[in-house]
Amino acid sequence: MPESGYPWPISTTRLDNGLRVVVSADRTAPAVAVNLWYDVGSRHEPVGQTGFAHLFEHLMFEGSVNVAKTEHMKLVQGAGGSLNATTNPDRTNYFETVPAEQLELALWLEADRMGGLVPALTQETLDNQRDVVKNERRQRYENVPYGDAWLRLLPLLYPPGHPYHHATIGSMADLNAADLATFQAFHQTYYAPNNAVLTVVGDTSVDEVVALAEKYFGAIAPRPEIPPAPDGRTVPATGVPAVETVVTDVPAPRVYVAHRTYPFGTPGYDVVTVLATVLGSGRGSRLYQRLADGERLAQPDLVGAYGVDLAHAPAPLIATATARPGVTGERLAEGLAEVVDELATVPVTPTELDRAKALLTTAWWRQMSTVDGRADALGRYATQFGDPATVAERLPAWLAVTAEQIAEVAAEVLAADDRVTLTYRPEEQP
Amino acid sequence: MTLVADRPGPGAARPYRFPQVVRRTVAGGQVVAAHLPGQNLAVALLLLDAGAGREPVGKEGLGGVLAKALEEGTSQRDATAYALAIEALGTELVTGLDWDTFQASVQVPVDRLGAAVALLAEAVRTPKLDPDDVRRVRDDEATALRMDWANPGPRADAALRADLFGVDNRWGRPMYGDPDSVAALDVEDVTVFHSEWFIRPGTLVVAGDLDRIDLDGLAAAAFAGTGGGPVDRGGAIDVPLRTGRRIILVDRPGSVQSTLRLGHPAPHRAHPDHVPIALAGTVLGGAFTSRLNHLIREVRGYTYGIRGDFASSRRFGRFAVSSGVQTAVTAPALVESIGEIARTQAGGVTEDELAVARSWRAGQLSVELQSPRAIAGALTTLVVHDLPDDYHARLRESLLAADVAQVSAAAATHLHPESLTLVVEGDAALIRDELVATGLGEVVDYAPAD
């Protein structure tokens, strides 16, 4: 077993304006990944402004002082690169992977939208991207069966006012109300060099990246006070199960069981990660063996469990199953709850534990097999834990988890009286 | 303003490198491997000439059922023991099929590759195929397809495919079958398909650090007990174009978006225009910066995304555009999409657009070919289409050398806006009249063949 989950060099430099620059050179392939984590996500959104962090992410592709509208995408793709961005409750990340000789272009583009977005932001752009985002909401959440499960689970897991109470996509009403001044202020507040981590991985050197970062980002002014998101680390247990049933146009009953666990990055969450794999990854998992294979309550392709890796509050663990024909939602929910309950009472065997660790090991190296996967991981660890080198600790921490720890954690955070159960039922009940 | 205003140019280009390719014949089968020095993860993929194109008409989905049945126990262990054995190595058995091939693969830390390939071979070559298990897997697959077909898309795809290629042909029916075709399969269909196609040796594709991999050992395990040689794969199929457009309306009551699938037949993979066709498709609809996405998403705000491309297998190909648009703008989205296709066909591409398209496609050959999984996919292309070891380097050169005249000629020859089939899956009650009013073509209701 490896001592380290990150056997490549890591260097961190902080520019005078507070921008942290993380470099990990690897000359294996002539490509370089550029990744920016901004420490702002939907957890920062006040009531009435849900969806703004994500809509803002769209605006970042629409031009800045030296980059004309539509030019950003064209320049990266015209350089042979791949690019995208994502927003989640915790943070917003922007990334491109380009042929190594195009590194400077990528850094110039990122600096221009960090330091010069606001003057280029227009009402027309906002209106257009608002429509795009509303279509994204329709496509991903409204027009597909079970598509709104995540939107329903969050308010059941987190109380009003909690930073994870609402989903990142936001509400249509809030998106409709979004005005230009709010977005200008959003950029000025959060898109500051001292609120970001720039990571570069691949065919380059520390000296080259630091010099280029200084050249392009060095003159962007820091922002003295960046308002923190509300503190969500403590979520009092209600002692009352939260149960919601949705009767709608779905092809079969489906159940989600969800719990708040620990924040990503804590020892408790490492245990949850292994526990989730024991519970719901692969045909050897407990859910598959018990519900899909054993009692044949669940469709084999649609059972699973996973943790959602959020770092600023107890992160959710979600287990789900979809009923085979003839099985009711109630019966399935009972079966699912039973398997989750047993994590505290039926000890995880060495075979189960080794299986889970082997799957997690492969998943880890899969992320590390590309320069973009590595860059995103380093950006995460630098942003959330203050030191990118701590990335190396995650895999060994998973591999050190014991069966006793799993039982303890299950007893502590998977109790039935603090459980969220969301059931979808077809209009015509089978 | 303190930002640097001048856009930097590129630095010195690094030479393009595709990993070193190793080919061997071992134990009657072919091995094609790529050397990825220092890579901790490795992928092995067994490629069989058992794609959807080998399924008889009326038996669509056979390969998918067999794929699942492989894991329901083998000559050596039951289903649970098999799952525990292979997952203890850190991998699941990943199966997949397309028109040309069936693929089974494993992805593990490199020191476990030998054990993983032995288990892969055990499932592919010697599955138990107990009749009760096969029937249950078949029923589960039919249910899984029913779930999938409750989403927007699969019915529209089926309608387009049937209209382009004809439901009397296997390639005019869905690649993975539909819920009814799968439900109608019987045990013998599955066992016969296995004995006909799954015990021929095939090709083992390996991507990983070859200094730490025993290729001959892997091949011996993968090809043990196999027999039979290659079977004629058939030539390119001549698919006629429609005369005139038609709109096929697939009703999805309550839908908040309309799912669009526009298409017509196009050349097969080995067509000499392959590179200019791909570039024309990229300019029109293959990238975020393409004409379609620019107009329909970035200017009009009708959609979260729209793409169009040429896709091809060994025997046939198609051009298709797909999107989901807000219900209220279904008709204008359709009209404007066809407008862009027609404009591209008639007027070709500009040097500006082509410059982006060729650099992007060439750059992707470095940027997207990093992981063992991606490299294994690239090797699969070499095998399926009989391409040389230096194919990716040559492809890169052809992409960078393609000029406006060639790509515009490909657009003129291979785009057929007047022959498009326009499938619209949405709330028919809300959109039918508008679709009729567009005058784009006769509106017919989707009637799946039984």
DSSP B131-166: HHHHHHHHHHHHHHHHHHHTSSSHHHHHHHHHHHH-
Q: Is position B305 within any domain? A: yes
Long-range pairs of A405-410 with CB within 8 A, sequence gap ≥ 24: A405/A271, A406/A271, A406/A274, A406/A275, A406/A278, A406/A343, A406/A348, A406/A353, A407/A343, A407/A344, A407/A345, A407/A347, A407/A348, A408/A271, A409/A261, A409/A268, A409/A271, A409/A272, A409/A275, A410/A275, A410/A343, A410/A344
Six-digit token string for B215: 């290729």
Interface A-B, measured as beta-carbon pairs within 8 A, has a size of 228
Instruction: Give B-chain residues touching A72 at CB under 8 angstroms.
Output: none
**Domain with B371 in it: what CATH number?**
3.30.830.10
- Inform me whether the C-beta atom of residue A70 falls under 8 Å from chain B C-beta atoms: yes
- Look over chain A and give the mean of its residue pLDDT values, rounded to a whole number: 96
State whether B324 and A139 contact (CB < 8 Å). Answer: yes
Q: What percent of chain B has pLDDT over 70?
A: 99
* Chain region(s) in chain A for CATH 3.30.830.10: 11-217, 242-426
Q: What is the distance in angstroms between the Cα of A155 and the nearest Cα belonging to chain B?
A: 24
Which of the listed residues B166, B190, B223 is the one where a domain comes to its end? B223
In order, the DSSP letters of B240-287 are: PPPSS-EEEEEE-TT-SEEEEEEEEEE--TT-TTHHHHHHHHIIIIIS
- Integer Cα distance of A291 and A300 in angstroms: 8
- B211 and B265: one domain? no
Is residue A233 over pLDDT 80?
yes
Q: Is B151 within 8 Å of A65 when comparing Cβ atoms?
A: no
Both tokens of A105, joined, read 């272009």
Q: Is B194 inside any structural domain? A: yes
Instruction: Could you please state the CATH topology (level 3) that the domain comprising A11-217 is classified under.
Output: Cytochrome Bc1 Complex; Chain A, domain 1 (3.30.830)
Q: Would you call A99 and B363 a contact, using CB atoms and an 8 Å cutoff? A: yes
Q: What is the mean pLDDT of residues B385-394?
A: 96
Cβ–Cβ below 8 Å for A362 and B109:
yes
pLDDT band at A9 (very low <50, low <70, confident <90, very high): very high
Going by C-alpha positions, the residue among A22, A38, A113 that lies closest to residue A73 is A113
Tokens of B91: 């991998």
Q: Is residue B338 part of a domain?
A: yes
The mean-pLDDT minimum among B15-19, B201-205, B387-391 falls in B15-19
Which residue of chain A has the CA closest to B303?
A135
Residue B188 is which amino acid?
E
Q: For residue A388, give both structure tokens.
A: 């990118």
Cα–Cα distances in angstroms (integers) from residue B121 to residues A407, B63, B204, B383, B425, in the given order: 37, 17, 10, 19, 42
- Please tell me if residue A215 touches chain B, with a CB cutoff of 8 Å: yes
User: Is the same domain home to B82 and B128?
Assistant: yes
- Give residue B145's pLDDT: 97
> B411-438, pLDDT tens digit by residue?
999 999 999 999 999 999 999 999 999 9
Quick one: B394 and B264 in the same domain? yes
Query: Chain B 134-193, CB below 8 Å of chain A: which residues?
Result: 140, 143-144, 146-147, 150-152
Among B171, B188, B223, identify where a domain stops: B223
A426 vs B: CB within 8 A: no
Rounded distance between C-alpha atoms, residue A392 and residue B282, angstroms: 40
Residue B136 to residues A184, B141, B183: CA-CA distances in angstroms?
Answer: 58, 9, 10
Integer CA distances (angstroms), A346 to A213, A406, B282, B363, in order: 53, 10, 55, 52
Predicted confidence band at A430 (pLDDT cuts at 50, 70, 90)?
Answer: very low
3-state secondary structure of B342: helix
Record: contact B143-A299, CB cut-off 8 A:
yes
Same domain, B356 and B210: no
Query: Inter-chain contact B1–A302, Cβ cutoff 8 Å?
Result: no
- Pair (B207, B334) in one structural domain: no
Q: How far apart are CA A421 and CA A141, in angstroms?
A: 19
Among A82, A299, A355, A369, pick the best mutation site for testing chain B contact (most B Cβ within 10 A): A369
Nearest to A374 by CA among A60, A74, A23: A23
For A66, which of B3, B299, B359 is closest by C-beta distance? B3
In this prediction, what percent of chain B has a pLDDT beyond 90?
96
Residues in chain B: 450
Asked if residue B269 and residue B144 are part of one domain, the reply reads: no
B400/A contact by beta carbon, under 8 A: no
The domain of B383 spans 246-445
Decide if B280 touches A, using CB distance below 8 A: no
Does the beta carbon of B303 lie under 8 angstroms from any beta carbon of chain A?
yes
> How far, in Å, are A33, A93, A213, A269, B250 from residue A11 at the CA level?
15, 20, 14, 27, 56
Minimal-distance CA residue of chain A relative to B6: A66
Whether B230 contacts B50, CB under 8 Å: no
- Within-domain flag for B385: yes
Q: Is A361 on the interface with B (CB under 8 A)?
A: yes
In a domain, B237, yes or no: no
* Total Cβ atoms within 10 A of residue B199: 16
Query: CB–CB of A139 and B40 under 8 A?
Result: no
Q: Are B84 and A284 in contact (CB under 8 A)?
A: yes
B229 touches chain A (CB under 8 A): no
Strand partners, A306: A318
> Is residue B157 predicted with pLDDT exceeding 60?
yes
Q: Does residue A289 belong to the interface with chain B, where contact is any CB pair within 8 Å?
A: yes
Beta bridge partner(s), residue A96:
A34, A83
User: A401, A352 in Cβ contact below 8 A?
Assistant: no
Chain B touched by A284 (CB under 8 Å) = yes
Judging contacts by C-beta atoms under 8 Å, the chain A residues touching residue B151 are 144-145
Whether A108 and B8 lie within 8 Å, measured CB to CB = yes
What is the pTM (predicted TM-score) of this model? 0.95
Nearest to B83 by CA among A294, A323, A404, A270: A294
CATH of domain A242-426: 3.30.830.10
Phi, psi angles (nearest 5°) of residue A64: -150, -175
Which residues on chain A are in Cβ contact (under 8 Å) with B8? 104-105, 108
A3 and chain B in contact, CB less than 8 A: no
| pLDDT in the model for residue A92 | 98
CB neighbour class for B164 (10 Å; exposed up to 12, middle 13-18, buried from 19)? buried
Q: Is B105 on the interface with A (CB under 8 A)?
A: no
**Number of separate domains in chain B:** 2
Contact map slice: B 309-328 vs A, CB within 8 A: 324-326
Q: Which two tokens stand for residue B351?
A: 């040097």
Q: Which of residues 391-420 of A touch B (CB under 8 A)?
A: none
Contacts of A293 (CB under 8 A, 6+ apart): A283, A300, B79, B80
pLDDT score of B327 more than 90: yes
Residue B199, in any domain of the structure: yes
Per-residue pLDDT at A1: 46
Element (H, E) at A201: strand A196-202
CB contact under 8 Å between A70 and B355, yes or no, is: no
Judged by a CB distance cut-off of 8 A, whether residue B256 touches chain A is yes
Mean pLDDT to the nearest integer, A93-97: 98
Answer yes or no: do B303 and A132 touch at CB < 8 A.
yes
Q: Are residues B180 and B293 in the same domain?
A: no
ipTM over 0.90: yes
Mean pLDDT of A233-246: 93
- Specify whether B219 is located in the same domain as B271: no
User: Does residue B430 share a domain with residue B296?
Assistant: yes
Q: By the CB < 8 Å criterion, does B255 face chain A?
A: yes
Is there a single domain that holds both residue B262 and residue B189? no
Among B367, B370, B392, most A C-beta atoms within 10 A, so best to mutate, is: B367
pLDDT score recorded for residue B317: 98
Question: Are residues B119 and B171 both part of a single domain?
Answer: yes
* Structural tokens at position B30: 């072919």
Whole-angstrom Cα distance, residue B424 to residue A145?
19
Average pLDDT over residues A130-140: 93
pLDDT > 70? residue B449: no
Closest residue to B298, CB basis, from A70, A116, A139? A70
Structure-token pair, residue B244: 């005139």
| Per-residue model confidence (pLDDT) at position A3 | 74
Is residue A429 scored above 60 in pLDDT?
no
Yes or no, beta carbons of A98 and B8 under 8 Å apart = no
Residues B85 and B133 in one domain: yes
pLDDT at B229: 84
Name which of B16, B87, B92, B182 to mutate to probe chain A: the one with the most chain A Cβ atoms within 10 A of its Cβ.
Answer: B87
